[in-house]
Amino acid sequence: MKKCDYCAKEITYFEQYCCEECERKTVRYHLFNERFSKLFLIVNTICVFGIPVGLFLASFNKIVGGGAAVGSCFVLGAMLMILPFPTEGMIRKHKLKKAINISRIFGGAVMLLGVAILMLLIFVI
């Protein structure tokens, strides 16, 4: 059986979505993605490079480098929770609803990484 493109419920081969609500949510997601994808790309790039650079700088100055790493983790985690844009492969494999949830969980994990770095820096100083 074919599955709904949003929630992964089984549907007939002649349909794409199981109900109008799933279709509306998918269209809303794609419009949201179109609108904020450039912002997501810019912030994601800055934060992904900010974490290792901050950790490197922490070996010289713990406050500046640690602040950059922790700040990058918190900004990246918050952005992944607010703007959960999973990859196309993830959407194909898990369908849209589950892929968005996985992206939000990953954002929470990145924020926990920021807390771990902060605790490490506090107890190492």
Convert the pLDDT of each residue in 18-50 to its tens digit.
Answer: 999 999 999 999 999 999 999 999 999 999 999
d(CA 34, CA 117): 33
Predicted local confidence at residue 121, as pLDDT: 87
Nearest Cα to Cα of residue 116 among 87, 58, 73, 59: 73
Query: What confidence category does residue 78 fall into, taking pLDDT thresholds of 50, 70 and 90?
Result: very high
Q: How many other β-carbons are positioned within 10 Å of the β-carbon of residue 76?
A: 23
d(CA 90, CA 92): 5
For the chain, give every domain's residue range: 38-124
15: Cα within 13 Å, side-chain hemisphere: 17
- pTM for the model stands at 0.88
Predicted local confidence at residue 40, as pLDDT: 94
Query: Which residues on adjacent β-strands are paired with residue 2?
Result: 11
Query: Would you state the structure tokens that stand for residue 25, as one six-digit string?
Result: 């949510």
What is the rounded average pLDDT of the residues 66-81? 94
> Over 70: is that where the pLDDT of 73 sits?
yes
d(CA 90, CA 76): 19
